[in-house]
């Protein structure tokens, strides 16, 4: 099955001799506890029959340290979460401690607490340029997507259109794994075991210019993509569709940036057909693209915006959905009750952590840091095109993907077996030895995904590019060195 494995550390020797505190745990005990009792996300534990599951014990700046004391660059920000790196745990922890010593919990049913109020105010301030002024809080991105779907359905129902029961999403997109969110996720492997899924969803092309026949002509590409959206809506019935969901830059498949005019076109189509436009900013929110929200970079105007991960920079589980006054209207004027609830919506610990993290984002001028360093990162990554297996380099801000191909001129892709060998047997080991954690993804074409902490400096970004370059050179040489028989295996 195609997978999106995080690169799995395997090498025996420490990659960095810098002394680190001993792990505050006994490695043998942890390994036994994992082996005997723990189930992991999207993981076939059978693959760990003869080795231990990697265990990380500490973070340090933009690095993480494993149970053996080996130190790695946190090149994927954990999972697009640790935007502030690992330096602020004490400070954010104190905010969490202060909150818990005052009030550990209160539900959010007809009552709330000052932390949730302050966070709502703060998020509405950040959402102001997009006219997003009200927020519902969740514990993560998939929950935020589910919350957005229910808001959309109920909004239409309150306006006399309860028949709008369908959604439009994009191929390969990942929007979460709970059954509602999975309905919008365009990855066959992880959908099919759970079909039928509750929300009928039509999938249109994502913005992968490298693989689209019109991709070489940005204006034509936009026209083709939007025509496809129009056709999908017509096919589903314009008055049957409740929402269209898309990421400003799609992660799954590898950092697909939108062509010019794409988001404006989506807005126009949605307006014309009465459909709500949802921007899923679970990854792109909070500075990853050099703006507080990715929508600002592309002048996208969604009706609802989902976020998570960066909202606490990974220090606690929190997500949510920001909406415009127009979308909030039925729910704040007595016309409709939002029929949704989560015990931990607006949990005081999570809101305190998010407020403290947002203070640090502001103090560190995180979006500005990303904007300042993006050109150098882009330039460094673009130079990797010199390596014969590099087909495409794409992305924005601190959010990049490198697509690997058999041949650059013909853009011929690797077979699943070849991709598996290249990503796991060659690249993963090499990056592991060189001390970089990133993601090697073959859910679409094989890609290396990079998404470093947003507080990374130029030196660290240069080091990441150097490691990726070295690993890719080694992989290209290994590919060349495969006997013809094995190369065509
Ligand atoms: N939406 C997007 C765009 C995501 O990338 C993810 C997770 O990576 C999700 C939704 C689901 O978020 P969570 O895992 O917090 O439920």
pLDDT at res. 442: 86
Q: Tens digits of per-residue pLDDT, 191-238?
A: 999 999 999 999 999 999 999 999 999 999 999 999 999 999 999 999
Residue from 444, 449, 475 nearest 464 by CA: 449
Same domain, 242 and 259: yes
279 Cβ inside 6 Å of ligand 1: no
Same domain, yes or no: 369 and 345 = no
pLDDT score at 220:
98
**CATH code of the domain covering residue 162:** 3.40.640.10
Residue 414 sits in the same domain as residue 469: yes
Which of 363, 390, 405 represents a domain boundary (last residue)? Answer: 363
d(CA 113, CA 331): 20
User: Is residue 145 within 6 Å of ligand 1 at its C-beta?
Assistant: yes
Which residues have C-beta within 8 Å of that of residue 176, sequence separation ≥ 6? 140, 141, 142, 143, 145, 146, 182, 184, 185, 282
Rg (CA), the chain: 23
Give the distance (Å) from ligand 1 centre to CA of residue 202: 19
Assess whether the C-beta atom of 176 lies below 6 angstroms from ligand 1. Answer: yes
Å from CA of 232 to ligand 1 middle: 24
User: Quick one: pLDDT at residue 17?
Assistant: 42
Ranges of the chain whose pLDDT falls below 70: 1-23, 483-489
Q: Which CATH number goes with the domain that contains 53?
A: 3.90.1150.10
CA 172 – ligand 1 centroid, Å: 13
Q: Are residues 280 and 344 in the same domain?
A: yes
Q: Is there an atom of ligand 1 within 6 Å of 278 CB?
A: no
In terms of domains, do 174 and 300 share one?
Answer: yes
How far from 382 is each of 369, 390, 401, 427, CA to CA, in Å?
20, 10, 11, 19
Of ligand 1's listed atoms, the one at least distance from the Cα of 284 is 3
The response to whether residue 283 sits with its C-beta less than 6 Å from ligand 1 reads yes
Same domain for 119 and 244, yes or no, is yes
Residue range of the domain that includes 103: 90-363
Residue 87 DSSP code: S
Residue 8: predicted pLDDT = 56
Q: What residue's CA is closest to ligand 1, atom 16?
A: 142
Whose tokens are 């601190």? That residue is 398
| Per-residue pLDDT at 15 | 46
Q: Tell whether ligand 1 has an atom less than 6 A from the beta carbon of residue 199.
A: no
- The residue out of 347, 363, 379 marking a domain boundary is 363
Indicate whether residue 364 lines ligand 1 (CB < 6 A): no
Q: How many domains does the chain have?
A: 2
- 461 is a domain residue: yes
Q: With respect to residue 288, please indicate whether it lies within any of the assigned structural domains.
A: yes
What does the pLDDT read at residue 485?
55
20 occurs within a structural domain: no
Residue 140 near ligand 1, beta carbon < 6 Å? yes
Give the distance (Å) from ligand 1 centre to CA of residue 341: 19
Give the closest residue (by CA) to ligand 1 atom 12.
141
**Does residue 441 have its Cβ closer than 6 Å to ligand 1?**
no
**Ligand 1 centre from 12 Cα, in Å?**
32
Count Cβ atoms within 10 A of the Cβ of residue 49 and give its class: 0-12 exposed, 13-18 middle, 19 or more buried. exposed
- For the chain, helix, strand, coil in percent to 5 are 45, 15, 40
| pLDDT at res. 488 | 54
């Amino acid at each position: 099955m195609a997978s999106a494995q995080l690169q799995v550390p395997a090498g025996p020797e420490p990659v960095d001799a810098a002394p680190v505190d001993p792990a505050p745990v006994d490695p043998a005990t942890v390994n036994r506890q994992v082996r005997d009792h723990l189930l992991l996300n999207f993981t076939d534990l059978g693959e760990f029959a003869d080795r231990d599951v990697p265990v990380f014990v500490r973070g340090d700046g933009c690095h993480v340290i494993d149970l053996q004391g080996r130190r790695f660059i946190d090149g994927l920000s954990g999972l697009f979460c640790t935007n502030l790196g690992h330096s602020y745990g004490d400070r954010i922890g104190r905010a969490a401690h202060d909150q818990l010593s005052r009030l550990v919990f209160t539900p959010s049913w007809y009552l709330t607490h000052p932390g949730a109020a302050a966070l709502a105010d703060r998020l509405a301030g950040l959402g102001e340029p997009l006219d997003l002024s009200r927020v519902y809080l969740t514990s993560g991105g998939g929950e935020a997507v589910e919350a957005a779907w229910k808001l959309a359905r109920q909004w239409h129902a309150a306006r006399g259109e309860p028949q709008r029961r369908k959604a439009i999403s994009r191929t390969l997109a990942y929007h979460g794994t709970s059954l509602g969110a999975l309905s919008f996720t365009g990855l066959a492997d992880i959908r099919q075991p759970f079909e039928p899924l509750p929300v009928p969803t039509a999938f249109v092309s994502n913005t992968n210019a490298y693989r689209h026949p019109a991709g070489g002509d940005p204006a034509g590409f936009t026209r083709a993509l939007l025509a496809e959206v129009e056709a999908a809506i017509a096919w589903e019935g314009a008055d049957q569709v409740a929402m269209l969901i898309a990421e400003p830059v799609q992660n799954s498949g590898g950092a697909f940036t939108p062509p010019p005019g794409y988001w404006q076109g989506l807005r126009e189509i949605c307006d014309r057909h009465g459909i709500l436009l949802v921007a899923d900013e679970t990854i792109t929110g909070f500075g990853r693209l050099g703006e507080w929200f990715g929508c600002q970079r592309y002048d996208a105007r969604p009706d609802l915006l989902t976020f998570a991960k960066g909202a606490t920079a990974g220090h606690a589980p929190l997500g949510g959905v920001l909406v415009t006054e127009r979308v909030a209207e039925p729910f704040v004027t007595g016309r409709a009750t939002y029929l949704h609830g989560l015990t931990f919506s607006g949990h005081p610990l999570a809101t305190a952590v998010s407020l403290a993290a947002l203070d640090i984002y502001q103090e560190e001028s995180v979006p500005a840091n990303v904007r300042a360093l993006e050109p150098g990162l882009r330039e460094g990554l673009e130079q990797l095109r010199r390596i014969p297996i590099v087909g495409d380099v794409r992305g924005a801000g601190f959010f990049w993907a490198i697509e690997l191909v058999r041949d650059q001129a013909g853009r011929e892709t690797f077979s699943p077996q070849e991709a598996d060998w290249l990503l796991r047997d060659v690249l993963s080991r090499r990056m592991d030895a060189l001390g970089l954690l990133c993601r090697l993804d073959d859910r679409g074409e094989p890609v290396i995904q990079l998404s470093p902490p947003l507080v990374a400096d130029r030196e660290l970004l240069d080091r990441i590019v150097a490691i990726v370059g070295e690993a890719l050179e080694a992989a290209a040489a290994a590919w060349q060195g495969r006997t013809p028989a094995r190369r065509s295996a």
